[in-house]
Structure 1
């Protein structure tokens, strides 16, 4: 974007944020800091930035350029409504020119006005199905964002959302890999424990698994935890799955 320098350099920096982040939460934090710095430089005043991400079957993730920025977004989550959530629902940017007089979200606006944040601009990020997000900007003066700055921020968001899509995809693949590894580790412990029970009770694999399951239900513990407890009592070590490098 022109005001914030939307060029190959900025696009490259957004890509670097994805590469350098260990997970989605880390990327959101870095994105919030980068956005706040870019907007502040363009507007000539300190602007805070929060980024909110909602994904199916996951709790909402809130990141911020500072502790205060995260707190402001969390306040909105507590009230259950506000400009950020409105932007995420409608897919349209939401501007609050003066939080001290805006009547759409009186509780939220009153709270952040008391904290010295008088202007809010929330720009949605268009993600893949099942996920929504928004960049939330907070300024200390009313009417801090004009039409030109809104267009500028929307152009920036169009690039940021591409980087966020990539970060979410990478995060999803990492999660699937971790889930698979966890499942294989669970399977290892359960199989070994079943073998121990077969040897101790001179029974079939099916009967040994039934005994293990009964112990799991009786103790109200996960099957894997009961299996590992049994193995640790014998070897004093936790079984580990081995993978080829």
Structure 2
């Protein structure tokens, strides 16, 4: 088996585990109605609990702007209501409103340059997330990081 086949098998094996972790977080964080796990480096991956979450994250990555991209760049978690960010990220705010998203929480996958990605949770009402939800979402990162690094080692 060549390196590409090994990597493809590792991705196929990791996706159900990562999807389960994401689904569990959406159920655990009270204000979350959907979520998306987006990794751009060293493994390009997008897993979601709802197609709207995937579209919101993908649009941010394509445009190079929005909370998902900002968290990947700064490696600092954030949460806010859409009304609070409509001036700095108008494209994101418009897409979120169209998807009936009114608040968000985004946590970096890693605080190191080895991985670039973010976990985005989206809420269906204003003030859906509080500071303690950041800690809850962050607690899932070691397992997610480990799976992504396992895949990356097979590149």
Which TM class, normalised by the smaller chain length?
A: 0.7 to 0.9
Q: Which one is further off, 45-54 or 136-145? A: 45-54
TM-score scaled to structure 2, two decimals?
A: 0.77
Alignment CA distance shift 1:139-1:87 (3 Å): same
Spell out the pairing of 1:4-43 with structure 2 (5 A cutoff): 22-24=9-11, 27-28=14-15, 30-43=17-30
Look up the match of 1:79: 63
Structure 1 residue runs without a partner (length 5+): 1-20, 176-245
Partner of 2:33: 47
More helix by share: 1
Spell out, residue by residue over 1:201-223, the C-alpha distance to the aligned partner (whole angstroms, 9 max, x if none): xxxxxxxxxxxxxxxxxxxxxxx
Larger relative contact order (Cα-Cα within 8 Å, sequence gap ≥ 6): 2
Q: Any conservation in 1 of the 2:25–2:137 contact (CA below 8 Å)?
A: no
Say if 2:105 and 2:129, in contact at 8 Å, map to a contact too.
yes
The structure that is strand-richer by fraction is 2
Q: What number of residue pairs does the alignment pair up?
A: 147
**TM-score, structure 1 length as denominator?**
0.52
Match of 2:147 among 154, 164, 167: 167
Gaps of 5+ in 2: 1-7
Question: How much is the aligned-residue C-alpha RMSD, in angstroms?
Answer: 2.7
Could you give the per-residue CA deviations for residues 127-158 of structure 1, whole angstroms, max 9, x where no partner exists? 6543222110001101100122223222x24x
1:115 alignment partner in structure 2: 99
- Residues 94-119 of structure 1: per-residue CA shift (max 9 Å, x gap): 2122x145222111111111210111
